Amino acid sequence: MSERVSWVPEGVDTGRPSAARLYDYLLGGGHNFAADRALAEKFLQAQPNGRTIARLNRAFLRRAVLLMIDEGIRQFLDLGSGIPTVGNVHEIARKADPEARVVYVDFEDVAVAHSQLILEGDPLAAIIQEDMTRPDAVLRSARDSGLIDFSQPVGVLTAGVFHFVPPEADPNAVVAAYRDAVPAGSYLAVSQFTQDLQPKEMAGIVEVMKKSQNPMYPRTKSEIEALFAGFELVEPGIVPTPLWRPEGTDTDDPDKAGIYAAVGRKV
């Protein structure tokens, strides 16, 4: 039976699980439904380290944004931004510069609705409801927002979303379209599930996610490297999330991270 609460947009089928709401649940958020939680429990059966993987991915996003801020980036395009939770990109960036601008992009109705609530009255951030695999539409809406100046370097973020892009959507071409739209000095951050780490668990996750709106397509390190054509990878390159510029005394096992992460600079 589908749930219906006041903050759910009309027309949303709460009985059909989504990856955005599953991720919200793994991070400890409250914007998910019974169907999402049921799928998440199956996800955790296949990959018991699932909550840690979600946390490590969110931590990578923070460190990537801070690197870009240090390199002078003040405008961000967050593709597949998902359901807002603690540590949004505009919150991270504005601790360094209160004038940092962010355009979030997602097509999931609940994610968009909650982004709109959080960003209401914020002149320096916006959410656009578009499919990131349609870069022409995304870029047009980003320009129309008035928040992204494509003559200046942009931080393009794809944290934990490219594993939902099927091969037939040509992920390399999708990234290339965003690369070609931004000037030299722009940055690209990517994190995505891989079968290189814990292949048995990854195969189980793929099976679980076939039952959601968002099937999953893990990629090898070499396939992820291909996404960075035209970008120069910054140190330490493509590594498991806890090894990408760790802070403090991080003791998470990189072999159980499940996700590769990397950042590149357009040359």
pLDDT of residue 194: 97
The third-level CATH classification (topology) of the domain covering 50-195+216-266 is Rossmann fold (3.40.50)
**pLDDT tens profile 68-82:** 999 999 999 999 998
pLDDT of residue 4: 46
Tokens of 141: 């809406």
Task: Tell me the average pLDDT of the chain.
Answer: 92
**pLDDT tens profile 189-216:** 999 999 999 999 999 999 999 988 889 9
Q: Which of 73, 32, 64, 68 shows the shortest CA–CA distance to 160?
A: 64
Give the up-direction half-sphere exposure of residue 177: CA atoms within 13 A in the CB hemisphere: 14
Residue 9 binned pLDDT confidence (cut-offs 50, 70, 90): low
**pLDDT tens profile 81-116:** 988 776 789 999 999 899 999 999 999 888 898 888
Stretch 245-261: mean pLDDT, rounded?
88
Contact 83, 21 (CB under 8 A): yes
Residue 16 binned pLDDT confidence (cut-offs 50, 70, 90): confident
pLDDT of residue 11: 65
Stretch 137-141: mean pLDDT, rounded?
98
Q: Is the per-residue pLDDT at 8 higher than 90?
A: no
Distances, alpha carbon 219 to alpha carbons 71, 147, 203, 260, in Å? 29, 32, 12, 9
